[in-house]
Every structure is written in structure tokens, then in C-alpha cells.
Structure 1
Amino acid sequence: MARSTTKHFSGNEKEIAELIKENLVWKEDLSYAGEEINFLSKFLEADVFQKNILNLYEKIQIFCSQLDSFRTQNLDLSMEVHNNKYDIQGMLECEDISCEIFYHDEHLKLGMRIMEFIKNFKEFKLEVFSYTSGLLKKSSKEM
């Protein structure tokens, strides 16, 4: 007798598979944001800006401080996404709907926080790029 190699999922297992896919997307988005944070940190600390710009140093320090805050948020969210993967798998252990609803709601809340973080980080990057783009040295000989 031939055995079927296809696994049939219950409704709960299908939903769990979708939540795990969403978790993976979050992990990738936060990893990418982490790389952007590292780049922006190096960019802001590099000697690539024109000299004698009024309040340049102060503005760069404000950006660096904000960047540190984004780095912390990114690390915290990344840890929560890591833990969320196990919470999703824990939904299989649920014996009643209230248990599943709890884990699902927590997943949705985390998703909203990640979307808010990404939105705020995009706005921050735009502010940094808008401010610094006209202040870059035109050549390496500029002082």
C-alpha cells in the first residue's frame, strides 16, 4: 500500500504556517534595518561633510543619539520575533480557542509594533538624507 507523502493540515496548522511566514518576513526586515543602522552610524561618523557648517556637529550628534535608540528598538524587536516563533509553535499545544486567541493577539500586537518601527525608521532615514545630502564634500581635497 502506497503512503501519501502529503501532509494534511488542520485549519489551525494552516494558520500557524502563515504566522511563521510572517515571522520570517519580520526577521528579515529587522535584519535589514540592522544593517542600515550600522551603515548610517558609520556614515554619520565619517569625515565626508563640508567644514564650517553651522551646528553640523550638534545635528550629527542628535542623529547618532536617535540611531542608538533605533538600534536598541531593533534588537528588542528582533528578540521578540525570535521568541514569537516559539509562541506560534506553542499554539499547537492549545486545547481551547482562548489560548489560540491569546497567542494570535500577541502576534498581531508585535506586528503592529514592527510596522511602527519600520515607518519611524524610514522617516528618520529621510530626515538624515535630506539634511546631509547637500553637506557632502565635493572632493577628497576639501577641508
Structure 2
Amino acid sequence: MVSHKKMTKKIVSAKVDEMYRESKHWNSCLQLINDELTFIQHLLNSYVFEPNTPNLFERLQDYQARIKRSKDDWDKLSKMIGHHENSIGGILECSDSVCDNFYHQKHEKLKVEAVNYMENFKDLKYEIFEYAGCILKKRKPNN
């Protein structure tokens, strides 16, 4: 018969594994987003846009400022996830449910922040690509 303590330790270990996998997934998504941020910054600073587009300069300035804010948020979130990953193992050293709950609440809060950031970035990226795509289409020669 398996003792209650061994069973609890097994459950906690499974939770730690799951939290670690989730944080690795967030990191993977953030690495992709970092590459996309770099691409978008290069796109916005390029000369591929039709110069006579109404409000082009203002739109590009707005997008550049929003991409910079997103990059700053990316930096903060990436650091938070890194620190969180390094501390996840602390759950295994918890001796009570208060400590255990602390780690889980911290993880859930970080999950919300990561998902919100990814959703906001996806929306911004879509908006920029939608705008850029319309302008770039104008440059195609008519056959």
C-alpha cells in the first residue's frame, strides 16, 4: 500500500513537471515573437511603403511606438518567466499547502500575463500586417 505522503509527493512532482512544461512553452512562444518583433521593426523602417499614402508617417510612428512597447513588455515577461522556471523546483521543498499554493498562484498569474501578452501581440501583428499588406498591394504593377 502506498503511503499518503508518497502519493502527495508524486502529485506535487507531476504538478511541477506540468508547470515547467508550460513555462518552457511560453519561452518558446516568446522566442518566436522576438523574431517577429525584429522582422516587424525592419519592415516598419524599410522603404517599401507607398510614399503618397494618407497618414503614412503617423501610422508608421504609431506602429513603431507600439512595437517598442511590446518589445519592452517582452523583455519583462521573458525575465519573469526565466525567474519563475528557476524557482519551480522550490515546490518540491514545500512542507505545507500554503507554500504549495503560493507557487501555483504565482504560476497561474504568470500564465494570465503570458497569454494576454501573446494575444495582444498577435492583434498588433495582425493590424500591422493588414495595413502593410494593403499598401504593398498598391505597388504591384498592373498586367
Q: Do both proteins adopt the same fold according to a TM-score greater than 0.5, normalized to the shorter chain?
A: yes
Which residue of structure 2 aligns with residue 54 of structure 1? 54
Shift of 1:138: 2.5
Partner residue, 1:41 = 41
Equivalence map 1:102-121=2 (5 Å)? 102-121=102-121
Q: TM (normalized to structure 1)?
A: 0.88
Name the count of aligned residue pairs.
Answer: 132
Aligned to 1:3: none
Q: In structure 2, what is the Cα distance between the partners aligned to 1:46 and 1:37?
A: 14
AA at the equivalent of 1:65: A
4+ residue stretches of structure 1 with deviation over 6 A? none
Q: Percent identity?
A: 29
Q: Which has the higher helix share?
A: 2
Which residue does 1:138 correspond to in 2?
140
Q: In the alignment, is residue 30 of structure 1 matched against residue 6 of structure 2?
A: no
Q: Please list every run of 5 or more consecutive structure 1 residues that lacks an aligned counterpart in the other structure.
A: 1-7
* Structure 2 runs not aligned, ≥5 long: 1-6
| TM-score scaled by length of structure 2 | 0.88
CA distance in 2: counterparts of 1:121 and 1:20, whole angstroms: 23
- Secondary structure of 2:140's match? coil
Q: Residue in 2 aligned with 1:125?
A: 125
User: 1:61-91 deviations in whole A, cap 9, x for unaligned?
Assistant: 1000000000011111000110001221111
Paired residue type of 2:140: K
Of 84-93 and 102-111, deviating more is 84-93
* One-letter amino acid matched to 2:79: M
How far apart, in 1, do the equivalents of 2:11 and 2:135 lie?
56
Q: Cα deviation per residue 1:92-129 (whole Å; 9 max; x = unaligned)?
A: 11111100100110000000011001111111111111
